Amino acid sequence: MILHRQYTTLSHTCWMVALLLGALYSCNSATDTQQNPTDSATRTVDISQMIPLADTTFSGQKISLWATDSLENKFETLYLKLEDEKGNPLPDVSVDYNLTMDMGMMNHGGPYYPLVSKGGGIYQADVVFIMANMKDMGKGWLFKTLLKGQGKVDTLTFMLPVRQASIPRTLATGTSEDTRVFVSCLLPSTIEVGVHPIEFVLHKMSQETFPTLDGYSVEVDPIMPQMGHGSSGNKNAEGKGNGHYTGIVNLSMPGEWQVKVKLLKDGKPISQDSLVYPIYVKEK
């Protein structure tokens, strides 16, 4: 759904709001990972089987937003497609975006990464929805597409239907050094028996921004609560840069598992809480 169009000069105005997430913080729609769009040499993404989230036509350009599945409060990948009025891709348009949560009386931002060109007028946008939309509280999450040209920015705002995840994948914890940290687990909630790579993305809540967080390691401890045992051969997730951490988990038999997670720095626990990510393991 297209919400509204806004026309601004290149120097846009930022605003300050308070977000109650256990404590009051100043937030806006920006994050310091935001940059100009970057190009990628990877092949064009096929969005024909994806879910269309929103679309509009503006100045002879068709702008649409796509996702592989319905959106939940977790790490999500969206795809922005730009076409001309005949359906031809617009690969050379100067485009950017930002992410805002409209809660009615207050707004705040969320973690998001720079656009990556996938070719064919398609751009990838990785974002983290740190909460779901809340009924009767504002417009919810807004994806603001910024089309730049001729000394101005045309802003096209799309409302995003972000629901509460039934199986948690983005959780928050306090730390002694970086206060509130959001930890997103990218492992699917259902997976086959076996040894799997497990990836996390870390962002901290820092005044007006949600920067990626490096310099940690993520302790992983998979267990089967009903069976009362864990598994061997697991490896803690180590930093790969830009807030990404990769490790290994051994999900050795089918059934309901939990991956318990702690944040470590210099080998010592630094998070206040032990985060738990449920996983259902099925037979191959």
Q: Based on the fold, state whether residues 198 and 129 are members of the same structural domain.
A: no
Q: Show the domain range for 189.
A: 170-282
Residues 175, 151: one domain?
no
Domain boundary among the residues 108, 138, 163 is at 163
Report how far residue 141's alpha carbon sits from residue 84's, in angstroms, rounded to the nearest whole number. 27
Q: What is the pLDDT of residue 3?
A: 52
| Overall domain count for the chain | 2
On whether both 116 and 248 belong to a single domain, the answer is no
The CA-CA-CA angle for residues 256, 257, 262, to 5°, reads 155
**DSSP assignments along 126-187, one per residue:** EEE-SS---TTSSSEEEEEEEEEETTEEEEEEEEE-EEPPSS--EEEEEETTTEEEEEEE-S
Collect all residues with Cβ–Cβ distance below 8 Å to 247 and sequence separation of at least 6. 197, 198, 199, 200, 218, 220, 234, 235, 236, 237, 238
Nearest one of 259, 260, 258, 251 to 283, comparing CA atoms: 251
What is residue 283's DSSP assignment?
-
The confidence score (pLDDT) of residue 93 equals 81
Residue 84, CA distances (Å) to 45, 117, 153 in order: 18, 17, 18
Question: Tell me, what's the pLDDT at 178?
Answer: 85
- Same domain flag for 211 and 78: no
What CATH number is attached to the domain comprising 252?
A: 2.60.40.10
Tens-digit pLDDT string for the chain (284 aa): 555 444 333 333 232 233 333 333 333 333 444 433 333 445 678 999 999 999 999 888 999 999 999 999 999 999 999 999 899 998 778 999 999 999 998 899 999 999 999 999 999 999 999 999 999 999 999 999 999 877 788 999 999 999 999 999 999 999 988 889 999 999 999 999 999 999 999 999 887 789 999 999 999 999 999 888 999 999 999 999 999 999 999 999 999 999 999 999 999 999 988 899 999 999 98
Q: Residues 122, 125, 128, CA angle at the centre, nearest 5°?
A: 160
pLDDT at 206: 81
Q: What is the pLDDT of residue 101?
A: 95
How far apart are alpha carbons 63 and 122 in whole angstroms?
10
187 in the same domain as 136: no
Please, are residues 43 and 119 in contact by the beta-carbon 8 Å criterion?
yes
Task: Indicate whether 45 and 108 sit together in one domain.
Answer: yes
Same domain, 14 and 101: yes
Q: Are residues 134 and 15 in the same domain?
A: yes
Q: How far apart are alpha carbons 58 and 145 in whole angstroms?
A: 12
Reported residue count of the chain is 284
**Within this chain, do residues 6 and 127 fall inside the same structural domain, yes or no?**
yes
* pLDDT, position 43: 62
